[in-house]
């Protein structure tokens, strides 16, 4: 449903349209508590297995900070994306006329969150902010086809490449590559959910710089190990970012507050922007370095590898482990959507893969375990 707009931003809802939160097969509260206790105990046990070499940790800290500086996009990357957005808004005016009824093409996702690299796709949404309509799927497809027709003509002129409508997807999109900037784009229609989430995450990154840095680096780590590709049944970017947020929420002392505390003053994006000001330097009592947090994040993933399929769920909204099923089914991995808690943002994660040791384990967990052991060893 189309959200209301306040101060130019869509009003969001962390409660979702259907708050029937499914409990997992552990109907007994004791079993639920045992699962939570196991998650915490397994993480502690996994950490105790690893000898954290202080000298290596210092090297890792320098390596991570250097990598962050190198991988951060240059000013030209920002300019290139803004240029693409201007071109698409010119197309919108050409198609609809320069009037109040003309849609606006807006960025969301990693670019809006400022967690993108030069190679990142640019997520864009065609939004009708001044028309009180809810677009059906068919209407969205027709609108994308209208833009596709224009882009095909630009493709014949060599201005864009690889124009590809993907209308059968859950969210219909139009993919293309801008020739001049080499920016790969995914264009959707009225993606208010993506826009709202992106704004909230962007504001929350201002609470503690370790959130932005660790999210950026874990995304790069996941990309390097082929586990950041929803089409290949691995983690999408939002699930990685929320797992990082969850990890920082569950440190002792915590570095980020539960998202529920941030959203309690209002769930529209403008209110969230004001709310995060109260939480600036929230994690100042926690002195963990980027290197320590990187290692402990991998340990956390490795330690709960066998608990996902028992209904374990990371809840950034609550800032703690919980237990859930989705449509009465247990997911391969569960990361609760803080905007709509009936949704699992890690739903793209697919089936288990064969580990080198011969046992069945999920690829994300296997990679996390191997890397955590490698970082923490004396060798």
Answer yes or no: is pLDDT of 20 > 60: no
Q: Both tokens of residue 360?
A: 């069945």
0.85 exceeded by the pTM?
A: yes
pLDDT of residue 230: 82
Q: Are strands 122-127 and 104-108 parallel, antiparallel or unpaired?
A: antiparallel
How many angstroms from the chain centroid is the CA of residue 19? 22
Q: What is the mean pLDDT of residues 147-156?
A: 96
Show Cβ contacts of residue 163 under 8 Å, excluding neighbours closer than 6 positions. 148, 151, 152, 155, 174, 175, 176
Query: pLDDT grade, residue 356 (50/70/90)?
Result: very low
Least confident of 14-23, 135-144, 182-191, 252-261: 14-23
pLDDT of residue 8: 47
DSSP secondary structure string for all residues of 52-100: --HHHHHHHHHHHHHHHHHHSPPHHHHHHHHHHHHHHHHHHHHHH-SST
CA dihedral over 50, 51, 54, 56, signed as positive or negative: negative
Q: Which residues pair with 239 in a beta bridge?
A: none
Q: Are strands 320-323 and 160-166 parallel, antiparallel or unpaired?
A: unpaired
pLDDT digits (tens, 9 = 90+) for 309-339: 889 999 999 999 999 989 888 899 999 999 9
Least confident of 12-26, 293-307, 332-346: 12-26
Query: pLDDT grade, residue 288 (50/70/90)?
Result: very high
Q: What is the mean pLDDT of residues 146-174?
A: 95
Question: Could you give the domains of the chain?
Answer: 5-71+208-376 (1.10.1410.10), 75-194 (3.30.460.10)
Q: What is the mean pLDDT of residues 126-151?
A: 90
pLDDT digits (tens, 9 = 90+) for 70-99: 999 999 999 999 999 999 999 999 999 877
Greatest CA span in the chain, whole angstroms? 66
Q: Percentage of residues in the chain with pLDDT exceeding 90?
A: 63
Comparing 308 with 8, which gets the higher pLDDT? 308
pLDDT digits (tens, 9 = 90+) for 166-208: 999 889 999 999 999 999 999 999 999 999 999 999 999 999 9
How many angstroms from the chain centroid is the CA of residue 49? 30
- Print burial letters for 6-39: b (CB count within 10 Å at least 16), e (below 16): eeebbbbbbeeeeeeeeebebeeeeebeebbebb
Q: What is the mean pLDDT of residues 146-152?
A: 97
Rounded to 5°, angle at Cα 315 from 313 and 319: 135
Q: Which residues pair with 322 in a beta bridge?
A: 313
pLDDT digits (tens, 9 = 90+) for 235-282: 999 999 999 999 999 999 999 999 999 999 888 888 999 999 999 989
- Print burial letters for 103-114: b (CB count within 10 Å at least 16), e (below 16): bebbbbbbbbbe
pLDDT of residue 132: 64
What does the mean pLDDT of the chain come to? 86
Q: What is the mean pLDDT of residues 128-146?
A: 87
Rounded distance, CA 75 to CA 81, Å? 10
Comparing 373 with 137, which gets the higher pLDDT? 137
**Phi, psi (degrees; rounded to nearest 5) at 38:** -65, -40
Burial bucket for residue 244 (CB in 10 Å: 0-12, 13-18, 19+): buried
Answer yes or no: is pLDDT of 130 > 80: no
């Amino acid at each position: 449903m189309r959200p209301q707009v306040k101060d130019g931003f869509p009003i969001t809802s962390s409660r979702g349209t259907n708050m029937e939160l499914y409990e997992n097969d552990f109907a007994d509260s004791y079993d639920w508590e045992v699962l939570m206790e196991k998650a915490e105990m397994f993480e502690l046990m996994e950490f105790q297995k690893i000898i954290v070499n202080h000298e290596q940790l210092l090297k890792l800290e320098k390596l991570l900070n250097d990598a962050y500086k190198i991988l951060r996009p240059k000013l030209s990357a920002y300019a290139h994306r803004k240029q693409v957005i201007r071109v698409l808004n010119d197309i919108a005016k050409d198609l609809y006329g320069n009037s109040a009824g003309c849609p606006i093409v807006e960025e969301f996702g990693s670019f809006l969150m400022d967690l993108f690299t030069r190679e990142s796709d640019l997520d864009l949404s065609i939004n009708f902010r001044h028309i009180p309509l809810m677009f059906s799927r068919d209407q969205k497809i027709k609108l994308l086809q209208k833009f596709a027709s224009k882009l095909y003509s630009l493709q014949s002129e060599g201005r864009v490449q690889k124009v590809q409508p993907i209308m059968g997807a859950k969210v219909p999109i139009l993919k293309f590559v801008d020739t001049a900037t080499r920016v790969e784009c995914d264009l959707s229609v009225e993606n208010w959910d993506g826009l709202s989430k992106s704004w909230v995450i962007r504001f929350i990154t201002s609470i503690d710089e370790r959130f932005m840095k660790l999210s950026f680096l874990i995304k790069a780590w996941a990309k390097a190990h082929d586990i950041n590709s929803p089409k290949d049944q691995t983690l999408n970017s939002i699930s990685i970012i929320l797992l990082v947020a969850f990890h920082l929420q569950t440190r002792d002392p915590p570095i980020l507050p539960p998202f529920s505390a941030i959203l309690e003053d209002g769930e529209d994006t403008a209110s969230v922007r004001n709310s995060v000001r109260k939480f600036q330097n929230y994690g100042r009592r926690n002195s963990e370095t980027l290197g320590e947090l990187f290692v402990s994040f991998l340990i956390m993933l490795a330690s709960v590898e066998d608990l996902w399929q028992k209904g374990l769920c990371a809840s950034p909204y609550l800032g703690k482990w919980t237990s859930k099923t989705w449509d009465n089914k247990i997911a391969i991995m569960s990361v609760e959507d803080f905007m709509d808690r009936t949704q699992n943002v890690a739903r793209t994660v697919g089936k288990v893969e064969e580990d080198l040791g011969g046992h069945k384990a999920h690829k994300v967990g296997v990679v996390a375990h191997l890397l955590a052991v490698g970082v923490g060893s004396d060798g």
